[in-house]
Structure 1
Amino acid sequence: MRLIPRPGRRLGTVIGSLLVTLATSLVAITSTAAPAHADACYTWSGTLQQGSTGNAVTQLQIRVAGWAASGTIFSIDGSYGPATTTAVRNFQAAYGLSADGVAGTNTFNKLYALQDDDCTPIHFDWSEVDDVCYGGWPTPISGVTIAQVKANLMQAMWRAEAIRHRLGDNPLRVTSAYRSKACNDAVGGASNSNHLYGRAMDLVPGSSATTMCGIARASRQSFPQVLGPGYPDHSDHIHLGIQSSIYQSASQCF
């Protein structure tokens, strides 16, 4: 005797087939989708690793400089050497990626997620780092261009992004970054201050979840120059500078 399938069973079979087809289609779409990229900023292609050179390496170094080995001076030189490998590995570990020191798709996608279309990190922008006295970009000191100032500030912002993540992604506030000569004179800054070149920024907590000393300690890996509580006139902010030698002083913190 031929069995006649129950309507409910046939309907279930049809629905099941449709679900399998839909799932297969979604997998296909996911597997063929292009990786995220930042069209308005910078897009990497291929893989970068020790021995790589060029602008792609330079762009990577700008973004991972804040993750360099402690006690070292990290150079933005377009050459992927041991220092860059360490910085990339530290960045990968901090963001839960496979920490092999090789920059590939997963590393680049994380960097894309961390940057805005103008290449600044998502938690800092140009309005926070322009001239603290007058706003905008007044003429810098002799021999320095605004383009150079902004290139230095870009590095400083990415280093600050590393500090922010190290502090649990709690907000930080910039109280001073670039200073024109007129501004630097007005606030009594040192005649050779890193602020004049866009190589410095002053940070304070952006919420009660972060302390001044917490910022100072978290900054030691990211900036060669760290001045904070315990250093004269730095009890109310953390001064961070990019320079060719290490000088860190905050006796109340470390």
Structure 2
Amino acid sequence: MTDSFSFSPSRRRLLRNAAVGALAVGAGAVAGPLLAAPAQAYPWGGTLRQGASGTAVRELQIRIAGWPTSSAAKVYLAIDAQFGPATFAAVERFQRAYGLAVDGIVGANTQSKLNALAKSDGSTAHFAWSELWDSRTGSFAGGAVSAASAQENVRRLMYKLEALRVKLGNLPIHINSGFRNKQHNADVGGIVGSMHTYGAAADMYVSGITYKTIYQHAETCGFSGLERYTTDHQHVDSQAEFGRGWWWESGTV
């Protein structure tokens, strides 16, 4: 799915007073403010290939969402449970990055690598819930969506961050801010309806890597919201998946 719309700085300011409906990228996590139910290796149910559909394809798309393109492009992978050409291409990019046979088919080896990205508590290999929940409350409650939806949105964000981490040379990504409840968001001057309150945004830094470099690689990870790279952190979010336009504040770099 693509969208060529871009935000100007003035539009960004207007969003401080914008209200967004109760949107979520899903509600697959359990209700409550703490950890999701333990996750086991996903039961893929056989080889996945173009033409397949269903819950296994949906989970596949969540896990490869950070591989929608090989160069800067305003495109994200739709999580629609349909294994079409865009999913095929994202699988190929994932396979190439992880040293697998590149055929766009999700067989045992690719499934094993996808499962290795998931930890038993439902988070991902290199990110913990505690890095991305509200730092004041240690929970996912009090945001723009239910705690369960916020946590699921964070889980999906984590997989995009896993892809970004690989593209940055497998260097650790340090999270400054992930999900914020509404009060916390207001206290730090966040915009009304911030993607942080949905669990779909992160502020970060990577030791030894410039923010410009992070920004450039994030342009290939399906992030539709990118704050300018000249601040003291790099903000990424998935706002286009919530019905908003694309906002790359520094443009295409």
With normalisation by structure 1, the TM-score equals 0.77
Asked if 1 retains the 8 angstrom alpha-carbon contact of 2:140 and 2:150, the reply is: no
Q: Distance in 1 between matches of 2:193 and 2:86?
A: 28
Q: Distance in 1 between matches of 2:159 and 2:128?
A: 10
Tell me whether 1:185 sits opposite 2:199 in the alignment: no
In structure 2, the partner of 1:58 is: 58
Q: Distance in 1 between matches of 2:158 and 2:247?
A: 19
Q: Distance in 2 between matches of 1:68 and 1:132?
A: 30
In structure 2, the partner of 1:14 is: none
Q: Distance in 2 between matches of 1:95 and 1:211?
A: 24
Where 2:141 maps in the other structure, the secondary structure is coil
Matches within 5 A, 1:143-154: 144-154=145-155
In structure 1, the partner of 2:196 is: 195
Matches within 5 A, 1:104-119: 104-119=107-122
Q: Distance in 2 between matches of 1:39 and 1:186?
A: 34
Asked if 2 retains the 8 angstrom alpha-carbon contact of 1:42 and 1:119, the reply is: no
In structure 2, the partner of 1:73 is: 76
Tell me whether 1:213 sits opposite 2:209 in the alignment: no
Aligned identity (percent) is 38
Q: Distance in 1 between matches of 2:195 and 2:97?
A: 28
Q: Distance in 2 between matches of 1:121 and 1:228?
A: 27
Q: Distance in 2 between matches of 1:91 and 1:120?
A: 19
Q: Distance in 2 between matches of 1:58 and 1:65?
A: 10
Q: Distance in 2 between matches of 1:82 and 1:191?
A: 36
Q: How many residues are matched?
A: 208
Q: Greater shift after overlay, 128-137 or 60-69?
A: 128-137
Asked if 2 retains the 8 angstrom alpha-carbon contact of 1:41 and 1:118, the reply is: no
Q: Greater shift after overlay, 43-52 or 156-165?
A: 43-52
Asked if 1 retains the 8 angstrom alpha-carbon contact of 2:39 and 2:119, the reply is: no
Change (3 A) 1:133 1:114: same
In structure 2, the partner of 1:238 is: 234
Tell me whether 1:85 sits opposite 2:88 in the alignment: yes
Amino acid at match of 1:215: I
What's the offset of the Cα at 1:39? 6.9
Change (3 A) 1:199 1:50: same
Where 2:239 maps in the other structure, the secondary structure is coil
Asked if 2 retains the 8 angstrom alpha-carbon contact of 1:225 and 1:246, the reply is: yes
What's the offset of the Cα at 1:72? 1.1
Which of 126, 129, 150 lines up with 1:126 in the alignment?
Answer: 129
What's the offset of the Cα at 1:71? 2.6
Structure 2 unaligned spans of 5+: 1-37
Matches within 5 A, 1:239-254: 239-244=235-240, 245-250=245-250, 254=253
Asked if 2 retains the 8 angstrom alpha-carbon contact of 1:228 and 1:238, the reply is: yes
In structure 2, the partner of 1:155 is: 156
Larger radius of gyration: 1
In structure 2, the partner of 1:138 is: 141
Amino acid at match of 1:55: T
Q: Distance in 1 between matches of 2:205 and 2:129?
A: 17
Deviations 1:76-108 (A, max 9, x none): 111111111111111001111111111111111
Q: Distance in 2 between matches of 1:101 and 1:128?
A: 32
Where 1:66 maps in the other structure, the secondary structure is coil
Q: Distance in 1 between matches of 2:184 and 2:174?
A: 20
Deviations 1:24-72 (A, max 9, x none): xxxxxxxxxxxxxx97242322111111111101111111000012331
Q: Distance in 2 between matches of 1:182 and 1:39?
A: 31
Q: Distance in 2 between matches of 1:39 and 1:190?
A: 34
Structure with more of its chain in helix, by fraction: 1
Where 1:240 maps in the other structure, the secondary structure is strand
In structure 2, the partner of 1:43 is: 43
